A and B are shown apart, each in its own frame.
Chain A
Amino acid sequence: MQLQDHLPLQLHLHEPGLHSRPVMPARGAGRECAESCMDYLTLELVHHYRDAQQGPSLQAALDAVGERVGRQLAERYARDRPPLTEPLEAMKWLCKEFWGEVFRKPVDNLRTNHRGTFVLRDTQFRWLWRLAQNQMPPQLGLSLPPAVPKTELAADYLVLPCAIVRGALAQLGLDCSVAADAASLPQVDFTVVLAGGGTGGAGAAARGAR
């Protein structure tokens, strides 16, 4: 991806002192469920819209589903903290706290060109680590079918997480587009491009949204 070539800054998220706030607010408190519930539900969501004869496309439907979820989760998680006034601060919060809750571990690496483009690298993206091509030949004795690029295998399953990320940032006042690159699965790179190059800053917009 050409973009990565001119990203000058690397922010290591594990630097000490950066994230000292408690992860969860009290509300919805304590209730847990099996992670598998989410595995089966997200899988079924994709299959439902992939096979649906009518209604919106998979992309359109899961965009809408994910964006709502992202907004609601961000609203909950960010409720008890001071507003994030800079896009960079918002991105750091997303990578550490939001990601940690939703995708079970923080983003491993965040890079930016300081002009509104951010690349979030999750080296073990939890929602897709089990994805593998079925290499069973159509008939016994035949050779293995050719490998399908991972990007292609993962495409349908990345619509929902991308939309969740977009929704979360929108809730913080940052309009953006989000695209995922799964060529090196289970590593996934999420590229966030802020609308207007991120010059507006999260603060003004976020305060507007509250």
Chain B
Amino acid sequence: MGCFTFYIFNRKGRCQYYHEWQRLKPVRQGAGSQEEDFKLMFGLFWSMRALATALDPKNPNKQQMGAPQRIGEGCNFYSFKTSSYKLHFLESPTGLKFVLTTDPSVGSMQEQLQHIYAAMFVELVVKNPLYTPGEAFLFEPFSAALNKYMRTLGLLS
């Protein structure tokens, strides 16, 4: 079993979609509530990008910490790994954020997140007439496709 949780956030920081395959430590013992979990998650990758950009040793135009940025400016942040899990991250220029947590042994998931964006989110969510852009959704075809894809990747048995 390789994947744990999956989130999609909209550009206003709202969690539009959440799925958990495996969460041994319930949210109650972590962030407290699901709402709080979403907010912590959002704050985490928000800060990661800001910090990473501020600490960038390469870019001569580096920004002050906390300076407002446009999406895609500064450093894109892809993933981080802890002793117990790895977090993979993809942000679209429209501010959609895709987050996948997996076992730490899993390699880069950038292409896979891009595939979820292009082939599943666009096709089964954006083009579903009953989807309202920006709002939370739970569409069976999208969830089914996501599960199937995770199985194809060997992250789900």
Contacts and interface: CB of A to CB of B under 8 A. Distances in A.
B110 interface: no
Interface residues of A, number: 18
B129 A43 contact: yes
B123 interface: yes
Interface string A119-159: 00000000000111111110011001000000001000100
The residue among B35, B130, B131 with the most chain A CB atoms within 10 A of its own CB is B130
A24 B57 CA distance: 61
Contact of A135 (B35, B127, B129, B140): B140
B141 interface: yes
Contact of A157 (B123, B129, B141): B129
B127 A36 contact: yes
A8 B62 CA distance: 76
Contact of B137 (A134, A141, A144): A134
A36 B128 CA distance: 12
B1 interface: no
Interface in B121-149: 123-124, 127-131, 136-142
Main SS class of interface, B: loop
A141 B34 contact: yes
Contacts of A40: 127
Nearest to B141: A132
28 contacts: A36-B127, A39-B127, A40-B127, A43-B127, A43-B129, A130-B124, A130-B127, A130-B128, A130-B129, A131-B129, A131-B130, A132-B128, A132-B141, A133-B130, A133-B139, A133-B140, A134-B137, A134-B139, A135-B138, A135-B140, A136-B136, A136-B137, A136-B138, A137-B138, A140-B34, A144-B138, A153-B130, A157-B129
Interface of A: 36, 39-40, 43, 46, 130-137, 140-141, 144, 153, 157
